[in-house]
Chains A and B, each alone.
Chain A
């Protein structure tokens, strides 16, 4: 998840995982969430939500170039593109696997901050990109 979390290689960030934030199963794009790995149920991973159900996502190295995220699933990616075990590897993940949302960094003290929803422009789902282009044309 570099550089949003663990920007230093040798210093680990501790985050506060908020379980209540996902009780309603409302997952938003750009949130950082923790989930049970679909490949290994004993492992927990932390990723950023890139697409929610119904979104058209341009994948990076998945077997399909463009995928529509199926019902009840989301598309998750690590920020460190290419060095991350994420949806580009195992495909869309079921929302039921999500355990919590990371809401703030609590340790080390020099990195105290809330984690804000953020999605790089290059990773915005295609269905939203085309809408914003239309918006610009109308403007």
Chain B
């Protein structure tokens, strides 16, 4: 009976330990994200699974052209997957003649599918603090597995 109790405590300890390791990895190093929606076609299709890394978001090393996962500025429960088009100080053309300058601490996000994407053109520049991670490669479907960085 005593032996049984000790072994239970031991295995609970293992579960907690590996749970903590997994949590830290997914929170600070990298994780897998499933994308849905048409906004990043033809680069990413609906239901593709991406491997993302959090290190460049935490150290604020995001560059132009990166595909990033961010919290949606208008709905904190939703995440968005877009391409960084402009960094602070960049001049972005909006529409025909209008142009906007990306303010300090923000980025300009756009989907690759320009005609079917809700992005910075509708909600404006996005604060860098909302960026969660940067997409590295597509891992699913296997036949389309490819790097997304260039």
Contacts of A41 in B (CB 8 A): 60, 105, 127-129, 131
A119 on interface, CB distance cutoff 8 Å = no
Contacts of B103 in A (CB 8 A): 39
Please list the residues of chain B having a beta carbon within 8 angstroms of any beta carbon in chain A. Answer: 60, 71-77, 103-106, 126-131
**A98–B71 Cα gap in the complex (Å)?**
11
Q: Choose from B60, B76, B106 the contact partner of A38 (Cβ within 8 Å).
A: B106
Contacts of A94 in B (CB 8 A): 71, 73-74, 76, 126-127, 130
**A40–B105 Cα gap in the complex (Å)?**
5
- Chain A residues 14 to 50 lying within 8 A of chain B, measured CB to CB, are 25, 35-42
CB distance from B2 to the nearest CB of A (A): 36
Contacts of B126 in A (CB 8 A): 94
Please list the residues of chain A having a beta carbon within 8 angstroms of any beta carbon in chain B. Answer: 25, 35-42, 70-73, 93-98
Contacts of B72 in A (CB 8 A): 72, 96
**A133–B51 Cα gap in the complex (Å)?**
55
- A42 with B60, Cβ < 8 A, contacts A36-B127, A36-B129 known: yes
- A25 with B76, Cβ < 8 A, contacts A38-B106, A39-B104 known: yes
30 contacts between A and B (CB under 8 A): A25-B76, A35-B129, A36-B127, A37-B105, A37-B129, A38-B105, A39-B104, A39-B105, A40-B104, A41-B60, A41-B127, A41-B129, A70-B74, A71-B74, A72-B72, A72-B75, A72-B76, A73-B73, A93-B127, A94-B71, A94-B73, A94-B76, A95-B76, A96-B71, A96-B73, A96-B76, A96-B129, A97-B129, A97-B130, A98-B76
Contacts of A98 in B (CB 8 A): 76
CB distance from A72 to the nearest CB of B (A): 4
**A95–B127 Cα gap in the complex (Å)?**
11
| Besides A96-B71, A97-B129, 18 new A-B residue pairs in contact (Cβ under 8 A), listed by A number | A36-B127, A38-B127, A40-B104, A40-B105, A41-B127, A41-B128, A41-B131, A42-B60, A71-B74, A71-B75, A94-B73, A94-B76, A94-B126, A94-B127, A94-B130, A96-B72, A96-B130, A97-B130
Minimum CB distance partner of A97 in chain B: B129
